[in-house]
Amino acid sequence: MPRVQNIKKQFARFMDLPSEAVMNTAEVRVVGHMEVTITNHRGLVEYTTTVVRVNSPQGTIVVSGKGLFIEYLSHDELKLGGKIAGIDLQ
Amino acid sequence: MTAVLWTWFVGYLVVRFKGPNVERVLNAAAQNGIVLWRIERLTTDIVVARLTVQQFKELRPILREFRVGAAVFERQGFPFILAQLKRRLFFIVGLAAVSVMILYLSSFVWFIEVIGSEDIPADHILDVAVTNGLYSGLPKTAVNTAALEAALLSNFPDLAWANVRVEGTRAIIEVVERQKDEYDPSVIGDIIAAFGGVVTDVFVARGTALVHPGDVVEPGDVLISGTYYDTRGQRQQGRAQGKVLAKIWREAFAETALFEDYQLETGQTSTQWRLKLGKIMIPLGPGSRFDAYRTDERVWQLKIGTIGLPIQFVRRTFHEVEYERRYLPQHLVEEKAREAAWSVLERQGVDRTKAEEVHISTVPVPDAEAVRVIVAVRLEQNIGEFQPH
């Protein structure tokens, strides 16, 4: 499997394509302390106002903070708002 | 921003989900193409989310599958506002009719105001404005400000400047009057006595003195003539200049009532609403039910932005009052009358500190329950007054 991923990575680089699209990996974008967008997620595992756990191909992405809320949720993208304190990949 | 506007336009629901598997419902909804936004966790088993009406219908099987309860507690957006408005059709029609009427009425001049006039009465300026086509009820587009300004300046030579402008439903005529010259040497005339008295001194700057110290003069007597003889002995006419000091008596009186009436409120009030359309006042209820009352008015002026409309709501509050008569001590009444008499003299130009002799007499006025105080003062002052020929 790592070999397949490596080939995909080389292909994406060669073709100048976004690697998360070719390699099927999650992309996490953070704007300051107030916004996190997760693309290519695999579903919500847990949602409270202090912790949000999201499944991804690479594991569980854990966003912690205060007053967390989901700005929007679609089949491939999830945007979180609130006061973000930390992001972990477990 | 576009997405927010679009969701508002198509309408959306604020839904409360309750159950232990809310996250699974959210995932299943996302997988089925149902977009949820602004998802908020209220308690451990309650989540609030927003979604469109159509997608809420698509969500129902998922809710059943995961045994999660859903309750709509807010409907937002244009379709719901439209549905509400349909139920109040007459209200909407009335509102639209009133808005159109207000817009229509605000395109007219309803009030005309004159500012800046001092010697020329405002009524005269208004008359000229009306004669030249500016009147209450005139469409604003028909106001010819340039022609009105020209007409005002030609009708009133004493005007130095005139400006007509329309602000909202008010036409404002602003004028500036010419400054009058204090002294014009080309005007021929004499100095005459404004008051009668005994002349004490005469100073002639131009003209011929006709009185001398010790003379007794009456009001209207010529004191310094404008006629004089030049160096060649020829008779000339000019403007008399000079001062004639005389000892004169000036007198004034004032009356003060022996009592004062105090207005006391009984605490009883009644209210009347009125609708004012332009100059027309329409009472919307009965007037005061009291014989004696004091009135308070509060006015609400309808406006569109900063434009005042000729529609006002007026609330009149009538406060019932009673009068109580209290008699004042005699010395206090006399003192008030004396001060009032002095005020009359001071308004006529008498300086209280320059009075050489003061006579004060008190006369009762029995029919009016009042006291009359007459103050007569002797003083020395310039009694000359220029009178043109």
What pLDDT, in 10s, does the model give residues B97-120?
Answer: 999 998 898 889 989 999 988 888
Domain count for chain B:
5
Domain count for chain A:
1
Domain limits for position B18: 2-82
Residue among A26, A41, A29, A25 at smallest CA distance from A84: A29
Residue A53 covered by a domain: yes
B171 and B217 together in one domain: no
Interface contact B35-A72, CB threshold 8 A: yes
- What residues of B are in contact with residue A43 (Cβ under 8 Å)? 27, 30-31
Give the residue-averaged pLDDT of B18-25.
88
For chain A, say whether B6 makes contact (Cβ under 8 Å): no
Instruction: Quote the Cα angle for B262-B266-B267, to 5°.
Output: 130
pLDDT of B347 above 90: no
The continuous run of DSSP H or E covering B254 comes out as strand B241-257
Residue A73 covered by a domain: yes
Percentage of chain A surpassing pLDDT 90?
51
CATH label of the domain that carries residue A81: 2.60.40.2000
B66 and B130 together in one domain: no
Place of tokens 């992001």: A87
B318 and B366 together in one domain: no
DSSP per residue, B311-368: EEEEEEEEEEEEEEEEEPPHHHHHHHHHHHHHHHHHHTT--GGG-SEEEEEEEEETTT
User: What digits encode the pLDDT tens for the residues B45-68?
Assistant: 899 999 988 889 899 899 999 889
Mean pLDDT (chain B) is 88
For chain B, say whether A45 makes contact (Cβ under 8 Å): yes
Edge-first strand listing for the sheet containing B159-167: B111-115, B170-177, B159-167
B11 and B76 together in one domain: yes
Of A28-32, B58-62, B84-88, the poorest mean pLDDT is in: B84-88
Q: Kindly report the backbone phi and psi dihedral angles of residue A71, in degrees, each rounded to the nearest multiple of 5, phi listed first.
A: -65, -45
B36, B37, B59: best mutation site toward chain A, by most A Cβ within 10 Å?
A: B37
Helices B53-66, B22-31: inter-axial angle, 10-degree rounding: 130
B332 and B378 together in one domain: yes
Interface contact B36-A47, CB threshold 8 A: no
B114 and B56 together in one domain: no
Residue B342 covered by a domain: yes
B210 and B270 together in one domain: no
Interface contact B38-A70, CB threshold 8 A: yes
- What residues of A are in contact with residue B35 (Cβ under 8 Å)? 72-74
B45 and B116 together in one domain: no
Percentage of chain B surpassing pLDDT 90?
40
Residue B90 covered by a domain: no
Residue B337 covered by a domain: yes
- What residues of B are in contact with residue A78 (Cβ under 8 Å)? 30
pLDDT attached to residue A21: 61
Residue A2 covered by a domain: no
Residue A14 covered by a domain: no
CATH label of the domain that carries residue B122: 3.10.20.310
pLDDT attached to residue A75: 87
B15 and B35 together in one domain: yes
Residue A49 covered by a domain: yes
For chain B, say whether A72 makes contact (Cβ under 8 Å): yes
For chain A, say whether B301 makes contact (Cβ under 8 Å): no
pLDDT attached to residue B185: 73
pLDDT of A25 above 60: yes
Domain limits for position A68: 25-89
CA–CA min distance B50, chain A (Å): 9
Do β-strands A77-89 and A35-39 pair in parallel, antiparallel, or remain unpaired? Answer: antiparallel
Residue A63 covered by a domain: yes
The continuous run of DSSP H or E covering B280 comes out as strand B280-283
pLDDT attached to residue B118: 84
- What residues of B are in contact with residue A45 (Cβ under 8 Å)? 23
pLDDT of B350 above 90: no
Compare all CA atoms of chain A with the CA of B43 and give the residue at the minimum distance: A48
- Residues near B52 by beta carbon (within 8 Å), at least 6 away in sequence: B7, B10, B11, B12, B13, B35
Give the residue-averaged pLDDT of B346-366.
87
B219 and B272 together in one domain: no
Residue A69 covered by a domain: yes
User: What digits encode the pLDDT tens for the residues B155-186?
Assistant: 988 888 899 999 988 999 999 988 765 567 77
Name all contacts of B175-179 with Cβ < 8 Å and 24+ positions apart: B175/B114, B175/B115, B175/B116, B175/B117, B175/B120, B175/B125, B176/B116, B177/B116, B177/B117, B177/B118, B177/B119, B177/B120
Which of B48, B82, B116 represents a domain boundary (last residue)? B82
Residue A59 covered by a domain: yes
Count of A–B CB contacts within 8 Å?
52
User: What digits encode the pLDDT tens for the residues B189-241?
Assistant: 999 999 999 999 999 888 899 999 999 999 999 999 988 888 888 888 888 98
Percentage of chain B surpassing pLDDT 70?
98
B21, B24, B40: best mutation site toward chain A, by most A Cβ within 10 Å?
A: B40
